Amino acid sequence: MRKEEIISKLPYSKPFLFVDEILYIDENGVEGNYTFDENLDFYKGHFKDFPVTPGVILTEVMAQIGVVCLGIFLLNDTFSKTTSIALTSTEIEFLKPVFPNEKVTVVSEKIYFRFGKLKCKVSMLNNNGEVACTGIIAGMMISPPQPSPKGRERKPD
């Protein structure tokens, strides 16, 4: 699956799409980036004289790139518009502020993916390559059951 195809399958749109580019992806992890436009609405009221990106938004960026993009890649052909996606847990440590117009890079490493649950170690790096936040994020991705192949039904004896 191509990187652009994964982004197109994300169940988000602007202003809540926080993925600009996927730099790398394989079955063990993903790396991508996002630039925080200074005109995003939350900057108007989050520290009015010194805008800083809210932690909940940083967590969302990490989840969209580090868990959802990777989950779409892992589910591959079984991912569809009817796939259910839900955040199940986060444990994030915030180490440095992220400011308007800052480009961040998210690096995610799969811990496990089984029974539709994906758990990853995710870090966000700021413009200077410093870790702005890091932690563990888990989510559920459940695709609808696939129809059984025709001609495989067993006929009664």
Q: Quick check: 106 and 31 in contact, CB under 8 A? A: yes
**How confident is the model over 5-44, as pLDDT tens digits?**
999 998 888 889 999 999 999 999 999 999 999 999 898 8
**How confident is the model over 52-63, as pLDDT tens digits?**
999 999 999 999
Which domain does 27 fall in, by range? 3-142
Looking at every residue in the chain, the average pLDDT score rounds to 89
Structural domain contains residue 155: no
Per-range mean pLDDT, top range of 58-72, 82-96, 139-153: 58-72
Structural domain contains residue 109: yes
Could you tell me the pTM of the whole model? Answer: 0.87
Structural domain contains residue 154: no
Catalytic residues: 46
**Phi and psi angles of residue 154, each rounded to the nearest 5 degrees, phi first:** -85, 130
Q: What is the CATH number of the domain that holds 105?
A: 3.10.129.10
Rounded Cα gap, residues 103 and 136, in angstroms: 21
Rounded Cα gap, residues 121 and 107, in angstroms: 8
State how many domains the chain has.
1
